[in-house]
Structures are given as structure tokens and as C-alpha cells.
Structure 1
Amino acid sequence: MRRVYTDSDPLIVGHLAEVLRARGIVCVLRNYYLSGGVGELPPNEVWPELWVEDNDDEAVARRLVDEVLANHDADGPDWTCPGCGERIEGQFAACWRCGHVAPSERGEA
């Protein structure tokens, strides 16, 4: 068994576990519920960890994790909603005010 990722945010680690499982990689989450130990234990020792059961899956799992994280950081530029004129940050695919979907030239919708 090999650890392929750890982070302070359990939502990211959980999402990555689901990505790996969807690709048929058997994985295990460790320390997922240890955040209550912060203060008594070193913070990075209680971070959730993602492990793959089969050592042969480690390289593929790390590549998938890197791809997901790279895509997560690749937010588009801020945009102006054509429906109401509100300025929207690039990570959002729809306007928070009127629900209008981002213009298709952003590669979405």
C-alpha cells in the first residue's frame, strides 16, 4: 500500500479518492476523521491521506491526482454576465445573481 496524496482539506482528499475509484483504482482514506486531534497532535499528522492498495497503481494514481489538481487551479478569466452585467470570478460557470451561464468562449456551457 502506498500513500499518494495528503492535504489539510478532507473534501479535496475525498474527491480525489472518488476520481481514483471511478478509474478502478482501489484506494483507502486514512486520518479522515482525525481533525479533532489538532492541538493535541501535530497538524500535519492528522491530515487526511489517500492511499492506493496496489503498489502497481501508484504511478497512475499520482498522475490522475496531478491532472485533477492542475485542472482545479486552471480557472478561467473573470467575466461579465451578459444577463445582468455582474462581474463574476473565473472559477464560476454561472452568474450568482441571475443564473446566466458563462459565455461559451470560456470553454464552458
Structure 2
Amino acid sequence: MKQIYTHENIVILHSVRNILAMNDIESFVKNEHTIPAGARHGINNIFHELWILNDQDYDKAAALIDTEIENPIVRDPWVCGDCNEENEGSFDVCWKCQSVPA
């Protein structure tokens, strides 16, 4: 097991965990429930940590985190072909009518 990522925001940490899971990399969150009691545990134990189970997945996981979280590709906005609504480039589905771009 190796620590692969740490973040103070649990939502971001779980987003990273989901990205790894979609790529068949098993991981778990450490210190998820210590924040409310953080003052009693000391500063070194209150940050949320993401750990991968298999050490051989470390390089692949680090590359995914770099491209998906740290340096994501910025895509241009697009217009839905069904309802003509403009969508942010990060949307894969129209936010208004849920159509998939052609």
C-alpha cells in the first residue's frame, strides 16, 4: 500500500478515488472521520489521504491524477444540437436536455 494523494476537501479526494476506480485501481480513504476530532489527534493526522492497495498501480494512478485533477485538458464550450443550449466544455451531456453531442 502507498499513499497517492492528500487533500483537505473530502469531496475532491473521493472524486480522485472515483477516477482511480474507473481505471481499475483499488484505493481507500484514510483519516476520513478524524476531522471533527482533529484537535485531539494533532495536525499530522487530520488531512484526508488516499492510498492505493497495489504498489504496482502507483505510476498509473499518479499519471491519472496529474492529467485528470492537477492539469486537466480544457475543452471549448459546445452547443447542443437538440436544444441549442450552450454547455461548458467539461460537460459530456447537455445540462438542459441531457442529449449527448453527435
TM-score range, shorter chain: 0.5 to 0.7
Matched length: 96
Output the aligned Cα RMSD. Answer: 3.1
Question: SS at the partner of 2:29?
Answer: strand
> What is aligned with 1:63?
60
Specify the code of the residue in structure 2 equivalent to 1:94.
V
Bigger shift: residues 11-20 or 67-76 = 11-20
Specify the code of the residue in structure 2 equivalent to 1:88.
N
8 Å CA contact 1:29–1:51 kept in 2: the answer is yes
Shift of 1:88: 0.4
Specify the code of the residue in structure 2 equivalent to 1:11.
V
TM-score (norm 2): 0.65
Question: SS at the partner of 1:63?
Answer: helix
Shift of 1:12: 3.7
Question: SS at the partner of 2:82?
Answer: coil
Specify the code of the residue in structure 2 equivalent to 1:60.
D
> What is aligned with 2:24?
22
Q: What CA distance in whole angstroms lies between the structure 2 residues aligned with 1:53 and 1:97?
A: 39
Specify the code of the residue in structure 2 equivalent to 1:61.
Y
Sequence identity percentage: 22
Quick check: 1:92 aligned with 2:94? no
Shift of 1:96: 1.4
Gaps of 5+ in 1: 104-109
> What is aligned with 2:32?
32
